Structure 1
């Protein structure tokens, strides 16, 4: 008797890549380090229950209807791959880098969104990582070979789609390097539909390639959690994709060398930043929950697959637990309806290219519940809040957003 072929579940891994067209699978470009990945293809079933003169009450045939897949996933937060998930559920991003200290200039004329070149007052060397603009519309591009004698025409080699935002004449052009800070907010332009991603699950069982791909993945939920006493800063999520299919090529794991961050390195600010007089020293644990409406839309086109997985509105809620309190501040947030700013910062405390920092900004937090907690030796409170849409947390696409999540890491722009 021959030895059966089996596959060890400990060797599984998950890859991810952004799609150009929702539902068109692409090979993975990055490995996601997860502790949970539970996919499930869910075709609908149409029953033939027409009478046939037999004592049947259920089905004389099962006919397959439309197909989608649902996925639950999560694990520790890794700052250098978190951007994939934030791009998927929120969509709007600005990017700033660390100035190199030389070569800065300005735009010689305005530049439109989508432009694949721009005019600069001074020349810029080929291959320069260049930050265009500042604030909510800041973005980083890679330049091509300049032409002209002043003003100089500077082509953009990456991203291939050109500028994400419009920029006025005289805006700053700054050569940069890492680390970079990505600020993710709710996308409100161009239909408000963020990028979708293909997820690749390597299990070993799929013939030839050993992996299945889940194209068109769209997130419906992303929850951050921290517990200073006992946990890593972590996340869980859920979403919907097109049905799975064998991956186009056999994937290879390339895990990051960046480590996750212990929750005790998290700081919470209420009524201001997580520093100075608004740093709160009594929060023991908490969570931030981002939810997004999803609607797979099926049309009469001769296909079982969705025509589109439509993104709808976003809502953000949170919980903060306070331990060993010395006053009623946690209760008064609710009773007085002060709706303070909440900021949560989790950093590995390193510097330069090794810095990883995740900063969650909620400008308007409406505390809706505050319950005394006497289950432990010291009195505490268990608070819940909902967020209000506001312009402070909005990004370059305008409108309003209930949250902004900024991630500092050394991953080059265009990777997510």
Structure 2
């Protein structure tokens, strides 16, 4: 404060500067003007799309690299029939005979809609959670799609253990949180002033503020070798014997104590325990997020299809698993009551009893997604035709 007082006194004596109630306004005005000018001068830095291994000509993952606050880079709409598909790893089919995004298999069956080629932007994130899907939906609706499809993972859709996985998407979440007031619940729970500030300033200067992730990567690459400390060139030798045991022991101890009420070893059983936790938690926050997604698509006026991914039939045949899924369906039905319309559809029953049996890697990930694609394409064709669209809907 002493330095600030001296600086203000110096400015007052030399240039007649006085601090008034409008000082903050002047500072903000000059700052925004500088950002706008910089945004015009500085070249934009497009992000790098993540995980393009399963992309095709008609379907591509538009998620940017993990950590990029822009989140997604939707393709221009063009003359195609544009689909925005939001989901996580359950939208993949990776097996001996099939390696594809399930949305890609669906696009093949849809053919053309109103004579236009179907082009699908996949908003894909590993371990995506419900709040991440809200962020993705905000970005998707801004790209003006013709159809929105949202996959709800039964393990996480109403689970209060992890309503959000990727908080770097909060800037995208801030995009659509201003109005209506019903969206303020999630905004107050998850957004920080920095998230809102980044959203506002990135709109004023996209290349400078919005593209900060790419600028940060360049700066890190150029400065990562700078250090005031001596750099050890020789790698540390690998520990053996008792030294290796000493390094592992803390981790082994933690892993041996961190177990659920029903300790299991296989992934499917762990996921089943997570569903058990989900139906017990009865999370109001996840319900609010789900209802906001329905409100967003109704407000946007875009035909939308929500669906719940099925679980492994072998697991589903177990009485406990069937009971958990039935409870989840009841909770989803209660959470979405009154949220659907003729063009916004959701069946809490999901795909569970409608898809012919297929092999699963665990409780939710399939090896071959063609059976799911057949059911999904049938539902989407019915939705499109009910809204006056002409869809080919022919099996490949």
Tell me the TM-score normalized by structure 2: 0.21
TM-score normalised by structure 1 residue count: 0.21
Which structure ranks higher in relative contact order (CA pairs < 8 Å, sequence separation ≥ 6)?
2
**Which structure features the higher share of strand residues?**
1
